[in-house]
A = this chain, B = another copy of it.
């Protein structure tokens, strides 16, 4: 049977896969402080304003701003300090005209005050700088050396977040500051999408477990572990299904059983035509729609098989370790985010650098060339690490992959290039 290569550019191929994945995975509730890196399952609104009370941004005196108008070094305003607002307590002191109260940074502003004069712009009438630590006898008098405007040095109620404001959308990857923003509002539990479980099968008569001695003609399984690492980094849970012989029935059984207990299946097969044909047959046998495309206009990794079975992505990766990683990054990683409802892939890990050496390519193909990054005089330099896609150490010795865009016949030394850190 003649082999049919439906070779699509990577962006189109990825779009074809993602449009098959119409349902976001179910959600679960987690303590907020354990949700770093997880994805919100619904929009989150502020249950109250933040801050909830007016706070001082300075050490100094809460005042009625009008009492300071016109104050200067040569003509200070005299105010009577009638109390102190303790940290963590309500501001119970009431200010009359010409009165002030000691406040500390972060402390509450009394209701009758509307600004804060910072301590450096005042002096006690005795002439010594006031110590805000320790005991203080009230009232005492200060000179205010600069006027303050209404609201100056004051955080207003709701200045950070207003009541009922949308604070995070659904499909947002939670970062440390997001956890902080939620906890500041007392949101100590959060609904996040369940982590996608990704089944991984290695196939090949020549492949042995890494614990085993590799005899003549044998190689150790590494794709299961490189793919598992990428799965974890994207927020998924790898489920290793082991090494399957090059036998259609054995592969069908293993694939069906692993797919049943996971949300996505990845088969890393050999690179011979017969093995690829077998992978196509297995994916088509798992369910509808089955194989979506066979072959992508990229190097390395052209013979990648992309499929889907009832909302679950199913990938057949080439056996070469470099191809397997590049192709999983191209299809598997976006699929893991998509299953979690993430609309935009994180930008972390994309850098621009100047190319250190010419790279040849072919128009109509997107190439990924391993590169080492070096600090150069004119910014970051990307130095290609050339080598066959069978050689895992081209990736070990690289910091990332240079992308040669689809419609470029190659890249010239000195050009700015996009490098995907790997």
Contacts and interface: CB of A to CB of B under 8 A. Distances in A.
Nearest to A322: B177
Interface in A139-168: 155, 159-161, 167-168
Interface string A188-214: 100000000000000011111011011
A59 B392 contact: no
5 contacts: A88-B204, A167-B393, A176-B226, A176-B229, A352-B352
Interface residues of A, number: 97
B352 A87 contact: no
A67 interface: no
Interface stretch (A17-25, A265-273, A403-411): A265-273
Contacts of A104: 270, 272, 274
B176 A223 contact: no
Nearest to A133: B274
Contacts of A36: 229, 232-233
Interface of A: 32-33, 36, 50-53, 55, 57, 59, 85-91, 104-108, 132-133, 155, 159-161, 167-168, 175-181, 183-186, 188, 204-208, 210-211, 213-223, 225-230, 232-233, 246, 270-274, 277, 319, 321, 325, 346-352, 373, 380, 388, 390-393, 395-396, 399, 421-422
Contacts of A181: 222, 392-393, 395-396
Contact of A270 (B105, B373, B399): B105
A36 to B, nearest CB: 5
Contact of A180 (B188, B216, B274, B321): B321
Nearest to A229: B176
A160 B395 CA distance: 11
A342 to B, nearest CB: 14
B179 A106 contact: no
A233 B274 contact: no
B53 A221 contact: no
B106 A272 contact: yes
Given A87-B272, A184-B222, A347-B399, 18 more contacts: A32-B210, A36-B229, A52-B214, A88-B206, A88-B208, A155-B390, A160-B391, A161-B393, A176-B226, A176-B227, A177-B229, A179-B222, A180-B226, A180-B392, A180-B396, A184-B210, A188-B210, A351-B352
A88 B211 contact: no
A219, A350, A392, most chain B CB atoms within 10 A: A392
A59 B184 contact: no
Contacts of A346: 421
A217, A226, A325, most chain B CB atoms within 10 A: A217
Contacts of A132: 272-274
Given A211-B188, A390-B160, A271 B53 contact: no
B352 A349 contact: no
A180 B210 CA distance: 10
A154 to B, nearest CB: 10
A159 B391 contact: yes
A372 to B, nearest CB: 11
Contacts of A321: 177, 180, 184
B167 A106 contact: no
A226 to B, nearest CB: 4
A205 B87 contact: yes
A207, A211, A219, A233, most chain B CB atoms within 10 A: A219
A327 to B, nearest CB: 14
Contacts of A59: 272-274
B388 A57 contact: yes
B232 A210 contact: no
B177 A90 contact: no
A230 B226 CA distance: 25
A57 B210 CA distance: 22
A220 B184 contact: yes
Given A160-B393, A206-B106, A391-B160, A177 B226 contact: yes
